[in-house]
Amino acid sequence: MDTPTHRNTDVWTEREQLEYFDSSEFTELLAGVVAPMGLAEATITLAELHHRPGAGVSGVYAATNGTASLYLGATAEKLETVPEGCVRLENPRGTITIWLHPADPLLPGLRLATTPELVEQAWGVGRVLDELRTLAYRPLRRAVMLARFVDGSELFLKVLRKDAALLHHKHLELLGAGIPAPVPAGEPVDQVLAFHRAIGQPLAEDLMHSPGLPLEPAKILGLLDALPRSLMQVPARPAWSDRLGWYGHAAQTALPERAEDIGTMLGCLARILENAQRGPLAPSHGDFYEANLFVSHGEITGVLDIDSAGPGYLVDDLACFLGHLAVLPDLDPRYAKVTEHFETYAAAFAEELTARGIGADGLYARTAAVVLSLVAGARDEANPGWRAIAETRLRLVGELLARAAR
């Protein structure tokens, strides 16, 4: 097969990767890949594009000829080894690895979690599977599947690259401390961990529909303070503000015309964070925001996605919560009240942190870093207005920076 033609450069930038993965040149190449699979003259459509700063770009593509369909994964990330069945294309600019879904080269358990018969064997316990649906898939990173059985019961299957046993241990530790983490449905199988559904509904739903503040700030602070000390023994993961340079690079890649402005913001953020108090190291959730909290009648009933739980800082968890809260109104007009809720939460968090000797400047600067990390994530091939969303998030970064400076 012919490899794509590129100008001869020593460095294939991530901006160039984004442009190439979203080009007709690449989809034509993929059409050639699937032709021998019985999909001659197939139409290739980009379904999702993912940019991991510093690593590279990956994409998911749908291929169909009108009667048959399949999905392909592709990445420009450097892989040490490529499993049998993958196609590896070398060209003057870099290397592209292509695979037929679900044969993700770094998620060996994806086939197990996406094959109904295998799911029934591993987790059915005699139940018949009624539906198996993909909820999330990030090539080379992770996937989440929903398995619904005919008796009405459900399981969520999380597919990981590694450390499924460690994640299972974290869930048991939180449950033992009275934290309502999802209950695992047994030990991991091939880096796939199954969970029962959490009680209640996502806080995001209450934020959208509740007439008032759906969850008091004190409940959030109480939950984070109650995280078990045993989390201090697991490997630490960097907070959003610790990867400021990477996320700034991703934002500049997504909005190259704003690269200079983003560079200025990065410099301001770095100066504030260098001097801002962070507080003592403590057990931390690591990815703490409204989608990962389940609530019922004003109480927290579920704490999800604890993959990053470990040693960290309270101010980073609170900044993560505020940063995600800040972008909600631009996603859906039904989140209009969240702007007011943001102020309530921000004031309460700043007051509590100040009482603990941690200044509000660090809270707002770290919140700005979280929003900056979401700028590149606004890119959505299905939404032609994604640039406007990215610009709005960049404006929020500037506003939060101004608060931190004050």
Q: What is the pLDDT along the chain (406 residues), one digit of tens a residue?
A: 333 333 333 468 888 998 999 999 999 999 999 998 888 889 999 999 998 888 899 999 999 988 889 999 999 999 988 888 898 888 777 889 999 999 999 999 999 999 999 999 999 999 999 999 999 999 999 999 999 999 999 999 999 999 999 999 999 999 999 999 999 999 999 999 999 999 999 999 999 999 899 999 999 999 999 999 999 999 999 998 999 999 999 999 989 999 999 999 999 999 999 999 999 999 999 999 999 999 999 999 999 999 999 999 999 999 999 999 999 999 899 999 999 999 999 999 999 999 999 999 999 999 999 999 999 988 877 788 899 999 999 999 999 999 998 8
What is the distance between the alpha carbons of residues 179 and 232, in angstroms, rounded to a whole number? 16
- Alpha carbon distances (Å) from 289 to 22, 317, 324, 368: 30, 8, 6, 15
Report how far Cα 186 is from the mean position of its chain's Cα atoms. Answer: 25
φ and ψ at residue 6, rounded to 5 degrees: -130, 160
**Contact between 158 and 192 (Cβ < 8 Å):** yes
Its pTM stands at 0.91
Q: Phi and psi of 348, rounded to 5°?
A: -65, -40
Tallying the residues shown for the chain, one arrives at 406
Is omega for the bond preceding 108 within 30 degrees of 0, making it cis? Answer: no
Whole-angstrom distance, CA of residue 76 vs CA of residue 148: 34
Q: Is 133 exposed, middle or buried (0-12, 13-18, 19+ CB in 10 A)?
A: exposed
